[in-house]
Amino acid sequence: MKNKEKQKHYGNRDGFTLIELIVVMVILGLLAALVGPRFFGKVEKATQSAAKTEVEMLGQALDLFKLDTGRYPTTAEGLNALTANPGIPNWDGPYLKKALPIDPWKRPYNYQSPGTHGDYDLSSYGPDGSPGGEGENKDINSWE
């Protein structure tokens, strides 16, 4: 008796109609179109922020190197001088707790000493991997 009452009340609907499914898919598509770009913009900003933090951390390690040795590593010695002694007197490293980091885009940081903007130039070319760039492709530089 209860089963017949259910059928009277609800009819013979056992599932969703095609129209209902299409409406739900359209709504989900609209939500993804609105939220997706904002989410991916945040991811790129977080990646750039991580690169800026690593450039600052490497700058601090370079300053400690200079305090001990009286100079920054040359371009030829590179950032590897922060993790292994290249034969410099008074070297008291390693100056990094972990291995030499690469930028968030899986490329090594660019280092030059003496630099054109100061004692040294330390940078990442950003996601495009080439010097310069605007917006999300902007370089991350130690002198900025």
- Per the structure, the count of domains in the chain is 1
| Own/partner pairs, 54-58, CB within 8 angstroms, 24+ separation | 54/101, 54/103, 54/104, 54/109, 54/124, 55/109, 55/122, 55/123, 55/124, 55/140, 55/141, 55/142, 56/142, 57/96, 57/101, 58/82, 58/96, 58/101, 58/109, 58/122, 58/142
How far is residue 130's CA from residue 53's CA, in Å, rounded to a whole number?
20
pLDDT band per the 50, 70, 90 thresholds, residue 54: very high
Which domain range does residue 25 map to? 2-141
Q: What percent of the chain has pLDDT over 70?
A: 88
**Average pLDDT, stretch 62-72?**
94
pLDDT of 4 strictly over 70: no
pLDDT of 11 strictly over 70: no
pTM, to two decimals:
0.69
- Dump pLDDT digits (tens) for 23-38: 889 988 888 888 777 7
pLDDT recorded at residue 83: 94
pLDDT recorded at residue 30: 86
How far is residue 108's CA from residue 96's CA, in Å, rounded to a whole number?
15
- Dump pLDDT digits (tens) for 72-105: 999 999 999 999 998 999 999 899 989 999 999 9
Smallest Cα–Cα separation from 101: which of 117, 119, 83? Answer: 83
The residue among 37 and 120 whose pLDDT is bigger is 120
Q: What is the CATH number of the domain that holds 65?
A: 3.30.700.10
Mean pLDDT of the chain: 85
The residue among 94 and 20 whose pLDDT is bigger is 94
pLDDT band per the 50, 70, 90 thresholds, residue 106: very high
